[in-house]
C-alpha cells in the first residue's frame, strides 16, 4: 500500500504568477533533492536563505527560502523539504524540472502528501476530511466546523468510544476464554453490557443533530426557476452584485446551470440559475437540461419567478408537479411595470396559496431588501442552531449508525445471554468506528476522499 519509496514533489501554492510559490518535497530523497538544488540541508525547522541551481547545468534558477522537516516530525511523517520561490511560471517550471532530474523523485499525484500523512498515522480520516473542508470553506461557520474536524473533534471522540468498546469486549472474551476460571468474577457480561449501553446512548445523542454538520458543509441550495424572460438571470445577477460577500461565481459543469456561492449573514447559500431548463431537440442541450432539472429538483428551496406584468398566472399546480419535494417560494418580479392596484389585487390572491410570495423588481430593487432578509432567515433556520456538530458527512453518519445497530443487537440479547453473540456484535461496532477514523478496512473509501484534493496537498 505504501508507495513511500518514491520521493514526491509538487507546487503546493496557488495558481501562478504570484508573489511567492511554495514547492514541497516529501520522501526519503527529500534531503538529497535539497543538496542537489541548494547545496545544503538547512537546520531543521528554520528558514534558510537558498540559492537554487539547476543540478545539470549549474545555472542559478532563483533565490528563495528553504525549510527542512526531518521525519517523523513533518506534515507527511517523512523527510520533507519546502522551498519558497518567486512565483513566476518560468521559475516554477525550472524548479520542478530540476527536481524531476533528482534520482528517485517524481511529481506528486493529487492529494498524495495528505495521503502519506494518513498512511503514516499523522492524520486520521476525519482529520483528512476536515482539512479538505477547511480548504473548501466559503463562510466563517464552515471554516470553524472544518477546523474543529481537522483538529480531531470527531476522530478523537471515535477513538475514545472504540477504546471503551475494546474494554467491554475484553470482559466478554475473558468469560468466553476462561469459563471456569475461579479468579474471574462470575458476571463479566453485565458490566460489559452496561458500557455498551452508555456508548450506544452517547452515539445516538451525537446522531440526533438534524444533520446540522452536513447541512453546513453543503449550504442551502436555492434554485431559481420559472418561465423564460421572467427575470431569473437578472435576479441572480442582482443578488450576486448586491451581496458584497459573494465568494466564487462558478460556471457549472454544464453551460445550463450557473452556480453562485453566497455568504448570507455567515450562512453558505448556493444559488442555481436554471435558465437553461427548456424543451429542446438538440441532444447535447437535452443532456444539459436533464442535469439542470436534476440539480433543481434536489434544491432545498425553489424560487419560482413570475413576470407580474404578463397575465401573472398563479402557477400553483405546475409548481407542485415540477418540484414535489422542495420548499417553494413564488417571486413576483417586474413589479416596476405594474400598477399599485394590480400588486394589491395580486397580494389579496396569493395569501390563499400554499407558498410564500415576494414582490420584487430585479431592475429597480424595490422589495429586494425584504426578500433578501427572508432568504437569510430561511438559510439560518435551515442550518439550525449554531451549536457545533460532530457529524459532518454522510460517511460519518453511516459508520455511527452501523455502530449503534451492532450495539443494539448486543443489548437485545435475552437471558440466557449468548456471550459469543455479544462479543461478535461488539467487534462489529468497533469495526464501524475503526472505519470512521480509517484504522481498519478503508481502501474502498480512500480513493473517494482523496479524489477531492488538488495536486500539492
Ligand atoms: P430569464 O429568461 O428568466 O433569465 O430572464 P432575464 O433575466 O433574462 O430577463 C428577461 C428580460 O426582463 C430582460 O430584458 C430583463 O432586463 C427584464 N427584466 C428582468 N427583471 C426585470 C424587472 O424587475 N423589471 C423590468 N422592467 N424588467 C426586468
In this prediction, residue 131 carries a pLDDT of 96
From the CA of 226, give the closest atom in ligand 1. Answer: 3
d(CA 158, CA 154): 6
Q: Decide which of 426 and 184 is more confident.
A: 426
From the CA of 235, give the closest atom in ligand 1. Answer: 7
What's the 338 CA to ligand 1 centre distance in angstroms? Answer: 14
Percent over 90 (pLDDT), the chain: 57
Q: Decide which of 391 and 227 is more confident.
A: 391
What's the 450 CA to ligand 1 centre distance in angstroms? Answer: 42
What's the 62 CA to ligand 1 centre distance in angstroms? Answer: 53
From the CA of 333, give the closest atom in ligand 1. Answer: 23
Q: Nearest-CA neighbor of 424 among 134, 65, 165?
A: 165
In this prediction, residue 213 carries a pLDDT of 93
Mean confidence (pLDDT) of the chain: 87
What's the 445 CA to ligand 1 centre distance in angstroms? Answer: 46
What's the 229 CA to ligand 1 centre distance in angstroms? Answer: 6
What's the 361 CA to ligand 1 centre distance in angstroms? Answer: 9
Report the Cα 22 to chain-centroid distance in Å: 24
From the CA of 275, give the closest atom in ligand 1. Answer: 4
d(CA 185, CA 191): 11
What's the 230 CA to ligand 1 centre distance in angstroms? Answer: 6
d(CA 40, CA 58): 15
Contact yes or no for 228/278 (Cβ under 8 A): yes
What's the 351 CA to ligand 1 centre distance in angstroms? Answer: 25
Most confident of the ranges 68-77, 235-244, 301-310:
68-77
From the CA of 335, give the closest atom in ligand 1. Answer: 23
**DSSP code string of 27-76:** STTHHHHHHHHHSS-PPTT--EEEEEE-TTT--EEEEEEEEEE-TTSSSS
> Tens of pLDDT along 363-387?
899 999 999 999 989 988 888 777 8
Q: Decide which of 28 and 274 is more confident.
A: 28
Query: Helices (H), strands (E): how many in the chain?
Result: 16, 13
| CA-proximal residue: ligand 1, atom 6 (nearest) | 231
> Tens of pLDDT along 428-456?
999 999 999 998 766 767 777 777 777 78
What's the grid cell of residue 29? Answer: 530523497
From the CA of 273, give the closest atom in ligand 1. Answer: 4
H helices present in 351-457, as ranges: 368-383, 394-411, 419-437, 443-451
What's the grid cell of residue 10? Answer: 509538487
Mutate to test the pocket of ligand 1, among 226, 229, 278, 336 (most ligand atoms within 8 A of CB): 229
| CA-proximal residue: ligand 1, atom 9 (nearest) | 231
Planar angle of CA 5, 6, 8, nearest 5 degrees: 145
Q: Decide which of 298 and 404 is more confident.
A: 404
Mutate to test the pocket of ligand 1, among 231, 232, 304, 338 (most ligand atoms within 8 A of CB): 231
- The order of strands in the sheet holding 258-264 is 248-251, 258-264, 267-273, 220-225, 301-307, 327-333, 357-359
- DSSP state at residue 454: P
| CA-proximal residue: ligand 1, atom 7 (nearest) | 231
- At 243, is the pLDDT very low, low, confident or very high (cuts 50, 70, 90)? very low
The answer to whether residue 44 scores a pLDDT higher than 90 is yes
Contact yes or no for 48/65 (Cβ under 8 A): yes
d(CA 264, CA 144): 16
Contact yes or no for 335/360 (Cβ under 8 A): yes
Q: Nearest-CA neighbor of 229 among 337, 368, 98, 83?
A: 337
In this prediction, residue 225 carries a pLDDT of 86
Contact yes or no for 128/114 (Cβ under 8 A): yes
Q: Nearest-CA neighbor of 336 among 373, 368, 313?
A: 368
| CA-proximal residue: ligand 1, atom 2 (nearest) | 229
Q: Decide which of 231 and 148 is more confident.
A: 148
What's the 285 CA to ligand 1 centre distance in angstroms? Answer: 23
The answer to whether residue 312 scores a pLDDT higher than 70 is no
In this prediction, residue 253 carries a pLDDT of 33
Overall average pLDDT of the 189-202 stretch: 95
Overall average pLDDT of the 76-98 stretch: 97
What's the 232 CA to ligand 1 centre distance in angstroms? Answer: 7
d(CA 13, CA 9): 12
The answer to whether residue 347 scores a pLDDT higher than 90 is no
Instruction: Name every protein residue with a CB atom under 6 angstroms from any ligand 1 atom.
Output: 228-234, 275, 333-334, 336-337, 361-363
In this prediction, residue 402 carries a pLDDT of 97
d(CA 27, CA 216): 36
Overall average pLDDT of the 95-112 stretch: 96
What's the 55 CA to ligand 1 centre distance in angstroms? Answer: 61
In this prediction, residue 183 carries a pLDDT of 65
Amino acid at each position: 500500500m505504501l508507495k513511500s519509496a518514491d520521493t514526491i514533489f509538487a507546487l503546493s501554492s496557488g495558481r501562478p504568477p504570484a508573489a511567492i510559490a511554495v514547492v514541497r518535497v516529501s520522501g526519503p530523497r527529500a534531503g538529497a533533492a535539497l543538496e542537489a538544488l541548494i547545496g545544503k540541508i538547512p537546520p531543521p525547522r528554520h528558514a534558510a536563505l537558498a540559492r537554487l541551481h539547476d543540478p545539470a547545468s549549474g545555472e542559478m534558477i532563483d533565490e528563495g527560502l528553504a525549510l527542512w522537516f526531518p521525519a517523523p516530525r513533518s506534515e507527511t511523517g517523512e523527510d520533507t523539504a519546502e522551498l519558497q520561490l518567486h512565483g513566476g511560471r518560468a521559475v516554477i517550471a525550472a524548479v520542478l524540472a530540476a527536481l524531476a532530474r533528482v534520482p528517485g523523485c517524481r511529481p506528486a499525484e493529487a492529494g498524495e502528501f495528505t495521503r502519506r500523512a494518513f498512511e503514516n498515522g499523522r492524520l486520521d480520516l476525519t482529520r483528512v476530511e476536515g482539512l479538505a473542508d477547511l480548504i473548501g470553506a466559503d463562510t466563517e461557520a464552515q471554516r470553524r466546523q472544518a477546523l474543529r474536524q481537522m483538529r480531531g473533534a470527531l476522530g478523537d471522540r471515535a477513538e475514545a468510544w472504540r477504546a471503551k468498546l475494546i474494554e467491554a469486549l475484553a470482559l466478554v472474551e475473558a468469560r468466553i476464554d476462561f469459563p471456569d476460571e475461579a479468579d474471574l468474577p462470575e458476571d463479566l457480561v453485565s458490566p460489559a453490557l452496561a458500557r455498551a449501553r452508555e456508548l450506544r446512548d452517547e452515539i445516538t445523542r451525537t446522531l440526533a443533530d438534524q444533520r446540522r454538520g452536513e447541512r453546513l458543509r453543503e449550504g442551502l441550495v436555492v434554485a431559481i426557476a420559472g418561465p423564460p424572460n421572467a427575470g431569473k438571470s437578472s435576479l441572480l445577477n442582482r443578488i450576486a452584485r448586491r451581496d458584497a460577500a459573494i465568494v466564487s461565481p462558478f460556471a457549472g459543469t454544464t453551460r445550463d446551470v450557473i452556480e453562485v456561492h453566497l455568504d448570507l449573514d455567515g450562512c453558505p447559500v448556493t444559488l442555481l440559475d436554471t435558465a437553461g431548463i427548456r424543451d429542446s431537440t438538440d441532444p447535447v442541450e437535452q443532456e444539459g437540461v436533464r442535469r439542470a432539472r436534476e440539480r433543481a429538483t434536489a434544491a432545498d428551496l425553489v424560487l419560482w419567478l413570475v413576470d407580474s406584468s404578463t397575465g401573472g398566472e398563479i402557477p400553483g399546480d405546475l409548481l407542485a408537479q415540477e418540484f414535489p419535494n422542495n420548499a417553494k417560494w413564488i417571486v413576483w418580479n417586474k413589479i416596476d411595470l405594474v400598477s399599485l392596484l394590480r400588486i394589491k389585487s395580486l397580494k389579496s390572491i396569493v395569501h390563499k396559496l400554499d407558498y410564500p410570495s415576494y414582490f420584487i423588481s430585479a431592475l429597480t430593487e424595490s422589495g429586494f431588501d425584504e426578500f433578501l432578509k427572508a432568504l437569510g432567515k430561511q438559510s439560518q433556520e435551515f442550518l439550525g442552531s449554531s451549536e457545533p456538530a460532530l457529524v459532518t458527512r454522510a460517511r460519518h453518519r453511516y459508520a455511527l449508525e452501523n455502530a449503534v445497530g451492532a450495539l443494539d443487537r448486543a443489548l437485545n440479547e435475552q437471558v440466557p445471554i449468548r456471550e459469543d453473540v455479544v462479543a461478535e456484535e461488539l467487534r462489529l461496532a468497533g469495526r464501524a468506528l475503526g472505519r470512521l477514523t480509517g484504522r481498519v478496512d478503508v481502501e474502498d473509501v480512500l480513493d473517494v476522499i482523496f479524489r477531492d484534493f488538488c495536486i500539492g496537498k
